[in-house]
Amino acid sequence: MKKAFTPMALTVALLAMETLTLTAQPKPPAPDELKALQEISNSKTVDARVAAVDSFAKSFPKSEYLNFALTAAADAYEASGNSTKAILYYQRALEANPKDYNAMLMLAAETARTTREFDLDKEEKLAKAEKYANDGMALIPSATKPNPQVTDAQWESLKKDDTARGHEALGLIAVARKKYDVAASEYKTATETAVDPQPATYIRLGGAYTDAGKPDQAIATLDKVLAMPNVPDQFKKVAQAEKARAEKAKAAK
C-alpha cells in the first residue's frame, strides 16, 4: 500500500505511516509519551521494536497512539515471518481501537494464511477472518483522514488500496475453503480496486484461475505479471512457476 504522509510535527508520524486507521486526529502526545514513541520508530530490530512497544503499552495504556504502537510490533513480527505473534499484536491493536480497520484487514489475511486444511477449528477461524475482512472494509468509506496535510485525492487512493487488501484477504479465505471461483473473483476485484495493484495479487489470481479449471485466464493473468517492469526476480519466478502449472493443466484438459 502506498503511504502518503507529510510530517505531523511528531516523530510518531512514522508509526502512522504503517496504519492509516485513526477515526479522529489525536491530540499531540506529552513529552515523555513522544519520547517513548520515538524509541519505537528508531528501533532497528524486531526484538528492539517489540521491547519498545511493550514498554510504551505498559507506561501509556490509555494513549491515543497505543494502536499505532501495537501495530508497529505486529508489522515487525509479520515481516520476520512470525505470524502467531503478529496476530497477537494485531488483536491487541484492535482492542486498543475497535475501529482500527487496518488491524481487522491484517487479522483477516494472517488468519487465512495460517489456517491449515485439517485444523479442527478451521471453519471457525475462517469465519472469524471473513468477519474481520468485511467489518474492516465497511469502516473504510467513512474513515477520517489521519493527517490534515494528506490531500483528499491521496486519501481516496489510500482507501481504495485498503479496500483492495480486504478483497485479497477474502480471496485467501476462499482458497482455504477450496472455493477457487470465489477466490478468483475476490482477487480480480482487488486488482481492479487498487490504485497500484501488486504483482503478488495477480499471481494469486492466476493460481486461483488454474485451481478453478480456467487455465487460459490463468496464463493471461500471469503473462501480465511477467510483462510488468521492475518486478522483483522472486515474483517473476513464482509467476513463471504458476504459469507452468496452468499450462500443464491446460494440456491435461
* Annotated domain spans of the chain: 13-192, 198-253
- Quick one: angle between helices 180-193 and 199-211, nearest 10? 160
Whole-model pTM: value is 0.86
Task: Report the alpha-carbon distance of residue 116 to residue 102 in Å, rounded.
Answer: 24
**Which residue did the predictor score with more confidence, 179 or 144?**
179
pLDDT at site 26: 63
Handedness of CA 114, 118, 123, 125 (dihedral sign): negative
pLDDT at site 1: 32
Per-residue pLDDT for 23 more than 70? no
* Unique residue bearing C-alpha cell 477457487: 180
Handedness of CA 185, 187, 192, 193 (dihedral sign): positive
Q: Grid coordinates representing 82?
A: 512470525
In the chain, the amino acid numbered 221 is T
Class of domain 13-192: mainly alpha
pLDDT at site 25: 56
201: nearest Cα among 109, 119, 122: 109
27: pLDDT confidence band, cut at 50, 70 and 90?
confident
222: nearest Cα among 239, 235, 209: 239
Q: Kindly state the DSSP code that residue 148 receives in the 8-state scheme.
A: T
Task: Report the alpha-carbon distance of residue 164 to residue 53 in Å, rounded.
Answer: 29
pLDDT at site 134: 98
Per-residue pLDDT for 133 more than 50? yes
Task: Report the alpha-carbon distance of residue 61 to residue 33 in Å, rounded.
Answer: 11
pLDDT, tens digit, for every residue of 155-181? 999 999 999 999 999 999 999 999 999
